[in-house]
Amino acid sequence: MASEDKKSKREHIIHFEDTPSKSLDEVNGSVEVPHNAGFWKTLAAYTGPGILVAVGYMDPGNWITSIAGGASFKYSLLSVILISSLIAMLLQAMAARLGIVTGRDLAQMTRDHTNKAMGGFLWVITELAIMATDIAEIIGSAIALKLLFNMPLIVGIIITTADVLILLLLMRLGFRKIEAVVATLVLVILLVFAYEVILAQPNVPELLKGYLPHADIVTNKSMLYLSLGIVGATVMPHDLFLGSSISQTRKIDRTKHEEVKKAIKFSTIDSNLQLTMAFIVNSLLLILGAALFFGTSSSVGRFVDLFNALSNSQIVGAIASPMLSMLFAVALLASGQSSTITGTLAGQIIMEGFIHLKMPLWAQRLLTRLMSVTPVLIFAIYY
């Protein structure tokens, strides 16, 4: 009898569902929105999910690629960032529309039209994709901690797993708290790079010309490879799963056409505004690379190289200072931590959606986190 009770308890803790519950059930429909308010008050209520999506488009994995693009080809690849951002806006608007209209996220909808084996396969490859991007975010955060506090990389990597506890706490306080924390971190990134670009004094006419596409991007192999890197770092597939889920955090009545229509409208505006900010940040990164490091691309191959270069007057000129280096490290930490929070949420969404696996929130998020942290720890220990 006791063994049966233990078995049923285990099944209750970790089990597969025949029919999955709502996407991110604990926060689904948890944010009230006004029904008869004006434009700006309604927009404020819907603003938030877009910023969580946007951080994936300006994570540490983007930094080296964008700065290297500027250091190698000056402002020529700004057009690639522009086109990538426009594509991202379209895809994210479609993902949000899917979630709002159907009440299902992209993983759940895909699983509805596939069998169990295919669902498992899709979960594996999507999880691997999340891990690939998450690894860059973990490494970025760990390096930032080392640069700021001279903390060993292994210790920094372990500390980054604490964002699981932060996420659990914020979830208990409400989804708007997560949005506020991530928005603050993104604002730090934006202000740091805007300040550094202003100091760098880029050539504005040449900069604006860089947003016009040209044939060299395709005909020049080196430029093409970097362009593909920028596209790959900018368009983040797991953000589509995230966007389709967190668009459902706003409480609406799907039986009322006008409410659904309004939700789509304001969610799309929110998404486009936040992705415009991501576009600005990525542009600032490339502009910084062009203005400070053009002709010295070997100086921007690693985060540590960039940190050191910003305080080296022989590389960046008279504006070089330890403060610029420290601001860079602060922005790197903000980027890494905001991205890992959203990456953990995306991991939960695809796990529940593709394989219908349910477990306690702490276990689910810890498992998702460890899947990304473990390979980084192994690499740090042995290499």
pLDDT, position 2: 45
Is 275 in contact with 53 (CB distance < 8 Å)?
yes
Separation of alpha carbons 106 and 96, rounded Å: 9
Element (H, E) at 131: helix 116-149
CATH number given to 35-284+300-382:
1.10.4160.10
pLDDT in tens, 189-239: 999 999 999 999 999 999 999 999 989 998 999 899 989 988 887 778 889
Residues 6 or more apart whose CB falls under 8 angstroms from that of 351 comprise 123, 127, 357, 364, 368
Q: Any idea where the domains of the chain sit in the sequence?
A: 35-284+300-382
Cα-based angle 201, 186, 56 (whole degrees, multiple of 5): 105
**What is the signed CA dihedral for 282, 286, 288, 289, rounded to 10 degrees?**
140
pLDDT in tens, 116-154: 999 999 999 998 888 888 888 888 899 999 999 999 988
In percent, how much of the chain has pLDDT > 70? 93
**DSSP class of 235:** S
Tokens of 26: 């604990």
| DSSP-based three-state secondary structure for 347 | helix
pLDDT in tens, 9-48: 444 566 677 666 788 888 999 999 998 899 999 999 999 9
Separation of alpha carbons 366 and 80, rounded Å: 36
pLDDT in tens, 327-355: 999 999 999 888 888 888 898 899 999 99
Is 226 in contact with 72 (CB distance < 8 Å)?
yes
